[in-house]
């Protein structure tokens, strides 16, 4: 099987995420695409606005009726070791969960799959260009194929600046057939302002947000 892994904050999940997942599935003949909200992103220390449980619930609603798309708990919260938890308190972080590292997630996913199954990581080009800041970038490139979604403000030619080996470059594929003209940050701003977001949020997700009273106060950008 060909398995897509699409991680991120999903804060909230919106129609742009859905369009990317569908486009990746079609372009690369993916049998399943796992949409996995990340409990705690290492490069976003301020964290997501909504709790993991809420984001997972909204992703499940986003995937309802979408053939081949599934919500995944692969990046659920993981408890820190006692020493790391003490460091979290000292740093003023209000939780005891360790960061979710994609290399660990891919190893856990690989352990669940058959030997012949292939993993395709779906990621935006802005995040992919920052791969050197991720844990074990060389290991990441070896662990999966990568589907890099282009955005208007980034040129795919910038991939050449990453100094990938020929073998690594062969595992990086560009998906340019889909654009996402709105961000989760903008959607959160609109929700806080009481503006209409029905164009970007499926009705079940919007109903969930209203029922739970999410995104009423926006913290610093995350």
pLDDT at 87: 52
H helices present in the chain, as ranges: 15-27, 52-63, 82-90, 102-112, 125-128, 137-143, 166-170, 184-193, 203-212
* Secondary structure string (H, E, C) spanning 180-215: CCCCHHHHHHHHHHCCCCCCCCCHHHHHHHHHHCCC
pLDDT at 88: 46
Residue position matching structure tokens 């950008």: 221
Peptide bond into 12 cis (omega under 30): yes
Report the candidate in 21, 27, 102, 31 with the shortest Cα–Cα distance to residue 63: 21
Chain centroid to Cα 96, Å, comes to: 21
pTM metric for this prediction: 0.88
Both tokens of 9, joined, read 């904050």
Half-sphere exposure of 65 (CA within 13 A, CB side): 4
Chain centroid to Cα 103, Å, comes to: 14
Give the residues of the chain that fall short of pLDDT 50. Answer: 84-85, 88-89, 91, 93-94, 219-222
- Cα-based angle 155, 161, 180 (whole degrees, multiple of 5): 30
Report the candidate in 11, 103, 91, 99 with the shortest Cα–Cα distance to residue 57: 11
pLDDT at 101: 96
pLDDT at 45: 78
Q: Own/partner pairs for 187-194, CB < 8 Å, 24+ apart?
A: 187/12, 187/14, 188/11, 188/12, 188/49, 188/215, 188/218, 189/218, 191/215, 191/216, 192/216, 192/217, 192/218
From CA 165, how far away is CA 175, in angstroms rounded?
20
Both tokens of 108, joined, read 């856990």
pLDDT at 151: 64
């Amino acid at each position: 099987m060909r398995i897509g892994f699409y991680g991120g904050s999903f804060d909230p999940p919106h129609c742009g995420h859905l369009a990317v997942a569908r486009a990746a599935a079609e372009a690369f003949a993916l049998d399943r695409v796992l949409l996995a909200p990340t409990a705690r992103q290492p490069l976003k220390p301020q964290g997501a606005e909504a709790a993991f449980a809420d984001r997972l619930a909204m992703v499940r609603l986003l995937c309802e009726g979408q053939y081949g798309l599934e919500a995944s708990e692969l990046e659920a919260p993981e408890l820190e070791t006692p020493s790391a938890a003490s460091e979290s308190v000292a740093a003023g972080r209000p939780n005891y969960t360790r960061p979710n590292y994609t290399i660990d997630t891919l190893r856990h996913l690989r352990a669940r799959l058959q030997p012949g199954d292939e993993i395709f990581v779906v990621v935006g080009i802005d995040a992919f260009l920052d791969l050197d800041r991720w844990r074990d970038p060389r290991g990441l490139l070896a662990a999966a194929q990568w589907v890099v979604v282009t955005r208007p403000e980034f040129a795919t030619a910038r991939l050449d600046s990453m100094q990938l080996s020929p073998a690594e470059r062969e595992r990086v594929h560009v998906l340019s057939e889909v654009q996402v003209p709105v961000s989760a940050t903008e959607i959160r701003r609109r929700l806080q302002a009481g503006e209409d977001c029905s164009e970007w949020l499926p009705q079940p997700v919007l109903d969930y947000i209203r029922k739970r009273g999410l995104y009423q106060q926006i913290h610093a950008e995350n």
